Amino acid sequence: MPYLFTSESVSEGHPDKISDQISDAILDHFLAYDSEAKVAIETLVTTGQIVLAGEVNSKTWVNVQKVARDTLRKIGYTKNEYRFNADSCGVISSIQEQSRDLFQGIIQNKKKENQGAGDQGMVFGYAIKETENYMPLSLEISHYLLRELSSIRNEGEKMLYLRPDAKSQVTLEYSDKNIPIHIHTIVISTQHDEFDTKEKMHKRIVQDIKNILIPRVKNILSKDIKKLFTDRTKYYINSTGKFVTGGPHGDTGITGRKIIVDTYGGRGSHGGGSFSGKDPSKVDRSAAYAARHIAKNLVAAGVADELSIQISYAVGIAKPIGIFVNTYGSSKKELLDEEIVLKIKKNFDFRPYAITKRLKLCNPIYEETAVYGHMGKIPKKVWKYFSDIEGNKKKQKVELFTWEKLDYLPIIKEVFDI
């Protein structure tokens, strides 16, 4: 039977995403000066206040207050009327040394390649042959809507009333053959200046979303996806009528509360652990990237049209406790899912050190992951700039989103005889 499926996204100005970006920016600054730093940073933002907490074990130190303020400026919180201003908000830091018990679990083996997982946990990787980057379409469109809305705000030429906080939601209608056939509903809530009566503001914003934002989004989508926008598509835009009070003044934000936005929009599964603020010794993050890398390469190689992989770990133990694969009946080879697992285990190393080395995860590459999803982005090399607690500046070239590379296609095709 036909069915509906929904995913959501949030902008860089959403309170939880502000927290994620600050946590990852601090992590990047530590890794820039100490690639083996062990970091777990949590950020809380509320009216006029940032609270930093967590654990760090590093040979360097970072001006975390400055990093937090710089991150806010990039997002756009630079006006007092937002009740949250990068230059005037308070920043409280309560960062302490990492637990020696956990740290010993990581480093107890003298061989780096056998160092244990930084914590117990299970992670999932997922890929589906529904978009060019093997991500769920409902999530992709949700991200596109807010990325373009953010671009409009930053360009400063149209919709000049826009403020940083925004959310989107896309509901797709699927056929009984699991093919997207129609965009059923688009929901957008965007923070804005108060510039007229409630009714006139709402009418203007609805018109601008439909006449400015939607055409821009459609212009960057493929023809097949454009066709899914129809006269039957429903729009709910600022459905309460007004969204002036937003950002951390309207809602407290905390690191790690948008894990479904960060991954697959509700498709596949999620192990429950968040990503931002954690160095790669935490398998919540590194193994989730490894799982996505393998799932994407397997689907791209033609092993299945849809695939989910689960990996589970015990703290201090290098090798996974278990690996599970589900192809949802879409396998293109006459192989049981259990047989796919056996081939994966023989050809891929899931120990934390091997994952970190394979995907170059000890580099300062994380701030860019903290908004519009950790998965599905285009790998690229960029120059980044950092400073330590003493103000020493550093320029470093890094490769972003290595887990999105299709570099294992030859291996998989050979292993699976494709």
Q: Is 16 annotated as a binding residue?
A: yes
Same domain assignment for residues 378 and 287? yes
Question: Nearest to residue 311, comparing CAs of 367, 270, 263, 259?
Answer: 270
Residue 110 lies in a domain: no
Question: Nearest to residue 394, comparing CAs of 42, 49, 33, 102?
Answer: 33
Q: How far is CA 187 from the centre of its chain?
A: 20
Same domain assignment for residues 204 and 275? no
* pLDDT at position 119: 73
Q: Are the CB atoms for 248 and 313 separated by under 8 Å? A: no
Same domain assignment for residues 125 and 151? no
Same domain assignment for residues 163 and 218? yes
Give the CATH number, domain containing residue 200. 3.30.300.10
pLDDT tens track for 45-97: 999 999 999 999 999 999 999 999 999 999 999 999 999 999 999 999 999 98
Q: Is 282 annotated as a binding residue?
A: yes
Residue 397 lies in a domain: yes
Q: Is 388 annotated as a binding residue?
A: no
pLDDT tens track for 21-43: 999 999 999 999 999 999 999 99
Same domain assignment for residues 227 and 274? no
pLDDT tens track for 343-356: 999 989 999 999 99
Q: Is 98 annotated as a binding residue?
A: yes
Same domain assignment for residues 316 and 409? yes
Same domain assignment for residues 180 and 211? yes
pTM of whole model > 0.85?
Answer: yes
Q: Amino acid letter at 12?
A: E
Residue 345 lies in a domain: yes
Q: Is 119 annotated as a binding residue?
A: no
Q: Is 251 annotated as a binding residue?
A: yes
In the chain, how many domains are there? Answer: 2
Q: Is 14 annotated as a binding residue?
A: yes
Q: What does the chain come to in residues?
A: 418
Same domain assignment for residues 362 and 224? no
Q: Are the CB atoms for 368 and 400 separated by under 8 Å? A: yes
Q: Are the CB atoms for 205 and 193 separated by under 8 Å? A: no
Same domain assignment for residues 201 and 295? no
Residue 275 lies in a domain: yes
Which residue range forms the structural domain that includes residue 205?
A: 3-9+137-247
Q: Is 65 annotated as a binding residue?
A: no
Residue 89 lies in a domain: no
CA distance 169 to 280: 31
Q: Is 167 annotated as a binding residue?
A: yes
